[in-house]
């Protein structure tokens, strides 16, 4: 069938293209060595059954690889080309500290020919540069507590560290921000402060919300309500004073005008 024929050709081409540049073993995922990685790891998974093969070579006729056995790829195996139609690819492209995964031969071919990872990484570098120019605004203590309570309502088992708080607020881009150290220390102190006041419970480096947090928020909301009421009353009094002064001024003007007449 034409569709099956094309799928086979795409898969064969994808295997050959990926195997031209195998990833090192082990694959470094940090530092300069990790940033310099540009290679592929290729797997074939049987559509029916548990056969999972790490591909080592493909000469156009037979795939040579190692099948998964008891948690490791160790059993030498071979798959004739005509049997590839029973397998789906799992191609992992390690590009710098990034990892791109493909389960479609055609998608892999198109994106690899267009150098898709290069554009993704370049776009991320630009986004990170723009993010680094922004100031990391620190949330107030009460705002932090309110957010933690909201998370706990959704997930009663919720716990978080100061590093987790940073990621919640700024996403993982904070890791490369030049001002990260000071802001990270600020949230560590904020969490410690909330723990000392009894609003949070500390479990080593992680914190969870205590019942007292609800009382603290309720008191804060009440204080805020009173403050808003006081502001409204002061504004109303100021307007009333202005109106009275204006009326008095008009009365004086009327009297002076009458006397002048």
Radius of gyration of the chain from Cα atoms? 33
Q: Are 97 and 88 in contact (CB under 8 A)?
A: no
Whether residue 64 is predicted with pLDDT greater than 90 in this model: the reply is yes
135-242 belongs to which CATH class? mainly alpha
Q: Mean per-residue pLDDT for 235-255?
A: 75
Higher pLDDT, 177 or 249: 177
Residues 6+ apart with CB under 8 A from 88: 44, 45, 47, 103
Q: Which of 2-6, 118-122, 161-165, 192-196 has the lowest average pLDDT?
A: 2-6
What local confidence, expressed as pLDDT, does residue 222 receive? 82
- Residue bearing the bigger pLDDT, 2 or 95: 95
**Is the bond leading into 26 cis (omega within 30 degrees of zero)?**
yes
Q: Is the pLDDT of residue 219 over 60?
A: yes
Percent of the chain with pLDDT over 90: 71
Determine which helix (DSSP H) or strand (DSSP E) holds 39, and give its type and residue range: strand 38-46
CA proximity to 8, closest of 55, 44, 50? 44
Residue 246 has pLDDT above 80, yes or no: no
User: From the CB of residue 58, how many other CB atoms can be counted at a distance below 10 Å?
Assistant: 21
Q: Is the pLDDT of residue 66 over 70?
A: yes
Is residue 144 packed enough to be buried (19+ CB in 10 Å), middle (13-18) or exposed (0-12)?
buried
| pTM (whole model) above 0.75 | no
Q: What residue ranges do the domains of the chain occupy?
A: 2-132, 135-242
DSSP 135: -
Q: Mean pLDDT over residues 120-126, rounded?
A: 94
What letter does residue 197 receive in the DSSP assignment? T
Integer CA distances (angstroms), 107 to 40, 44, 58, 63, 97, in order: 15, 16, 20, 21, 21
- CA-CA distance, 181 to 174, in Å (whole number)? 10
Q: Provide the pLDDT confidence category of residue 259 given band limits of 50, 70 and 90.
A: low
pLDDT score, position 1: 52
Alpha helices, DSSP H, located in the chain: 2-19, 31-35, 105-113, 116-132, 141-154, 162-170, 180-196, 212-260
């Amino acid at each position: 069938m034409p569709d099956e024929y094309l799928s086979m050709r795409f898969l064969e081409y994808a295997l050959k293209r990926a195997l031209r540049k195998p990833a090192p073993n082990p694959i470094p995922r940090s530092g300069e060595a990790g940033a310099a990685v540009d290679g592929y790891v290729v797997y074939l998974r049987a559509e029916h059954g548990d056969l999972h093969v790490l591909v080592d070579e493909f000469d156009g006729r037979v795939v040579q690889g190692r099948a998964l056995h008891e948690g490791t790829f160790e059993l030498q195996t071979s798959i004739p080309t005509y049997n590839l139609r029973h397998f789906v690819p799992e191609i992992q492209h390690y590009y710098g500290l990034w990892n791109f995964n493909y389960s479609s031969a055609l998608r892999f071919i198109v994106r690899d020919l267009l150098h898709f990872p290069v554009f993704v990484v370049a776009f991320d570098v630009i986004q990170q540069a723009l993010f680094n120019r922004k100031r990391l605004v620190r949330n107030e203590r009460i705002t932090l507590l309110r957010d933690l309570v909201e998370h706990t309502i959704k997930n009663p088992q919720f716990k978080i560290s100061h590093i987790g708080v940073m990621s919640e607020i700024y996403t993982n881009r904070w890791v490369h921000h030049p001002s990260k150290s000071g802001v990270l220390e600020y949230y560590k102190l904020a969490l410690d402060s909330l723990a000392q006041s009894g609003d949070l419970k500390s479990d080593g480096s992680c914190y969870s919300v205590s019942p007292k947090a609800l009382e603290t928020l309720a008191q804060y909301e009440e204080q805020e309500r009173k403050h808003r009421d006081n502001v409204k009353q002061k504004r109303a009094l100021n307007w009333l004073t202005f109106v009275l002064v204006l009326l008095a001024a008009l009365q004086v003007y009327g009297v002076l005008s009458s006397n002048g007449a």
